[in-house]
């Protein structure tokens, strides 16, 4: 029984939500292990677009357990709103959502402090989603965070809120923000406590039991490897481990219980927010990518910066995650181009670099070196069968495989579940194709 991590190999928005939703029939449990409502995972439900921020992208399928691990930063209001939105769509939410008691809570002061630090950074701002994610993880590391489990004892909750608010008010005074009132925050969070209590469990114990029962687990990454706090382009990163290691620390499942890591890579690359991006393209071509790929943030609506596929960056992501298989998404966006560029190395101070340097001060100065491939100039959008794929596109796929040293095993050709091709014989050990096909109309 395979337990698999599915994660992004770029700067997020690779199409993880689509791939997780597609693969879900093959698994029993879908687990988010890090991040919070900074994520925006797009899935389609009965032809309608739905963006999930916190709930795992398996929720559209019946009888799947969706778990939020201890690695999550949880905004309780966003969590409850997402659940009521799912209910309003007619989805059954009873005992199929579980929340770790060790996950950290995002508090009202986190968002305020984030706005302040972003302002202070001026031109060097990270361009965060301003959801309070960074400050919540700061408090976790500083050992003053308030956890989901603290909601279960109102005396503890009150004490922790009072301590934190007294402290945070000192900072807010410096920032010339108005003081917060501990009692108001306590009352708000005590209200959430009642609604959230039924979802709270010990996730590590639960997952260990399910693994013993041979249930199959899919770990859903948020953000992407280049946004990982350790392996990303620090400081232009998010504040959690979006790479494979995060699946263990963010759930309490040991690495020996996880069988594979499937990387999701977009056929080009995008980035939202600040930080270097060597293959970024501006002007009309950049806009064409944005329009064809609908590259506008699923969470903040910001236009995504677009660029050619960066094989140096994706090869790096494959290395730090131990990825040998890739789901390739959105190649249909490139249908119209005569030539397709792939960055295969960087030049830095006259020298050729093949290993991705995560330091922004190096990345800002590298010049990407491209291989130019012939465009396929035919419609890939919506194709469902390998035999329909044009030879020029397959050449492009093989070229990428060599450049990133990983095999492409799934090709996505559109937003909908059925617009997906599984390459024969390449992923049979990890997924049950029959189960997947049975959910595709």
Interacting residues toward ligand IMO by CB under 6 A? 8, 11-13, 38-41, 126-129, 131, 133-134, 222-224, 227, 238-239, 272-273, 298
Q: Which stretch binds ligand GDP (CB under 6 A): 13-21, 92-100, 156-164, 358-366?
A: 13-21
The site partner of 273 among ligand IMO, ligand GDP, Mg ion, none (C-beta below 5 to 8 Å per kind) is: ligand IMO
Q: Indicate whether 132 belongs to the interface with ligand GDP (CB under 6 A).
A: no
Nearer to ligand IMO, 39 or 260 (CB): 39
Of the candidates 314, 340, 309, which has an alpha carbon nearest to the alpha carbon of residue 404?
Answer: 314
With binding defined as CB under 5 A, does residue 221 bind Mg ion?
A: no
Active site residue 37: no
The count of other CB atoms within 10 Å of the CB of residue 309 is 28
Minimum Å distance from CB 38 to ligand IMO?
A: 4
Query: Within positions 359 to 378, which residues make up the interface with ligand GDP, using CB under 6 A?
Result: none
Annotated catalytic residue: which of 13, 21, 228, 332?
A: 13
Structure tokens at 134: 């960074």
Our CB check for ligand GDP shows the closer of 43 and 207 to be 43
Of 76, 39, 56, whose CA–CA distance to 300 is shortest? Answer: 39
Please state, in angstroms and rounded to a whole number, the distance separating the CA atoms of residues 389 and 266: 17
Asked if omega into 282 is within 30° of 0 (cis), the reply is: no
Helical spans, DSSP H, in 122-181: 133-141, 154-174
CA 32 to CA 223: how far, in whole Å? Answer: 11
Alpha helices in 347-441 (DSSP H): 360-363, 391-404, 433-438
Query: Rounded to whole angstroms, how far apart are CA atoms 20 and 67?
Result: 14
Count how many residues are written for the chain.
441
Rounded to a whole number of angstroms, the minimum distance from the CB of residue 12 to ligand IMO is 3
* Beta strand ranges found along 239-304 (DSSP E): 260-266, 269-271
41 is catalytic: yes
Residue whose entry in the numeric block shows the structure tokens 């806009």: 287
| Stretch of 15-23, 98-106, 205-213, 241-249 lying at the interface with ligand GDP (CB under 6 A) | 15-23
Q: Does 412 bind ligand GDP (CB under 6 A)?
A: yes
- The two structure tokens encoding residue 218: 């899919």
Q: 294 vs 364, which CB is nearer to ligand GDP?
A: 294
Q: In the complex, what is the shortest distance from the CB of residue 369 to ligand IMO, in angstroms, rounded to a whole number? A: 26
Identified binder of ligand GDP from the candidate list 3, 15, 68, 164, rule CB under 6 A: 15
Segment near ligand GDP (CB under 6 A); pick from 16-24, 81-89, 211-219, 229-237:
16-24
Q: Mark residues 291-310: x for contact with ligand GDP by CB under 6 A, - for none.
A: ---x---x------------
3-state secondary structure of 259: coil
CA atoms within 13 A on the CB side of 171: 15
Question: What does the alpha-carbon distance between residue 150 and residue 75 come to, in Å, rounded to a whole number?
Answer: 14
Cβ distance to ligand IMO smaller for residue 132 or 252: 132
Residue choice 9, 10, 13, 330 for contact with Mg ion (CB under 5 A): 13
Site string for ligand GDP, 34-73 (x = CB under 6 A): ------xxx-------------------------------
Q: Applying CB under 6 A, which of residues 231, 271, 330, 417 lies at the interface with ligand GDP?
A: 330
Calculate the CA 381 to chain-centre distance.
Answer: 24
Tokens (6 digits) for 344: 């295969």
| Calpha distance 303→310 (Å, rounded) | 20
Q: Which residues bind Mg ion (CB under 5 A)?
A: 13, 40, 298
- Binding stretches for ligand GDP (CB under 6 A): 8, 12-18, 40-42, 294, 298, 329-330, 332-333, 412-415
Which positions are annotated as active-site residues? 13, 41
């Amino acid at each position: 029984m395979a337990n698999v991590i599915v994660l992004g190999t770029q700067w997020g928005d690779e199409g993880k939500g689509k791939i997780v939703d597609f693969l879900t029939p093959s698994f029993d449990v879908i687990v988010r292990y890090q991040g919070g409502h900074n994520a925006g995972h797009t899935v389609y439900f009965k032809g309608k677009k739905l963006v999930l921020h916190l709930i795992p992208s398996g929720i559209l399928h019946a009888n799947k357990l969706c778990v939020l691990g201890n690695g999550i930063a949880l905004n309780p209001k966003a969590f409850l709103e997402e659940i009521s939105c799912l209910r309003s769509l007619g989805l059954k939410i009873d005992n199929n959502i579980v929340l770790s008691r060790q996950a950290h809570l995002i508090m009202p002061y986190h968002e305020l402090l984030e706005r302040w630090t972003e302002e202070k950074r001026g031109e060097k701002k990270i361009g965060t989603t301003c959801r309070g994610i960074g400050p919540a993880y700061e408090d976790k590391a500083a050992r003053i965070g308030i956890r989901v489990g603290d909601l279960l004892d109102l005396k503890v909750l009150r004490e922790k809120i009072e301590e934190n608010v007294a402290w945070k008010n000192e900072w807010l005074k410096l920032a010339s923000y108005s003081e917060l009132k501990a009692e108001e925050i306590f009352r708000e969070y005590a209200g959430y406590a009642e609604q959230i209590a039924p979802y709270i469990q010990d996730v590590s114990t639960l997952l260990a039991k399910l693994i013993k029962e041979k249930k199959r687990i899919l770990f859903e990454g948020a953000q992407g490897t280049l946004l990982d706090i350790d392996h990303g382009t620090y400081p232009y990163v998010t504040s959690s481990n979006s790479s494979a290691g995060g699946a263990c620390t963010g759930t309490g499942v040991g690495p020996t219980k996880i069988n594979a890591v499937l990387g999701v890579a977009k056929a080009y690359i995008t980035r939202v927010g600040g930080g270097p991006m060597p293959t970024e393209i501006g002007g009309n071509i950049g806009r064409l990518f944005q329009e064809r790929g609908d590259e506008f943030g699923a969470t903040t609506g910001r236009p995504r910066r677009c660029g050619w596929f960066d094989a140096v960056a994706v090869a790096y992501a494959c290395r730090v995650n131990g990825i040998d298989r890739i789901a390739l998404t959105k190649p249909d966006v490139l249908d119209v181009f005569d030539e397709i560029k792939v960055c295969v190395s960087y030049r830095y101070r006259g020298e050729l670099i093949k290993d991705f340097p995560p330091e922004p001060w190096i990345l800002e100065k590298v010049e990407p070196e491209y291989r130019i491939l012939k465009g396929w100039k035919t419609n890939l959008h919506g194709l469902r069968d390998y035999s329909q794929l044009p030879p020029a596109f397959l050449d492009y796929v093989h070229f990428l495989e060599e450049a990133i040293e990983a095999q492409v095993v799934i090709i996505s050709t559109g937003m909908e579940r059925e617009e997906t091709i599984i390459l024969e014989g390449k992923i049979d050990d990890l997924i049950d194709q029959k189960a997947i096909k049975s959910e595709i109309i």
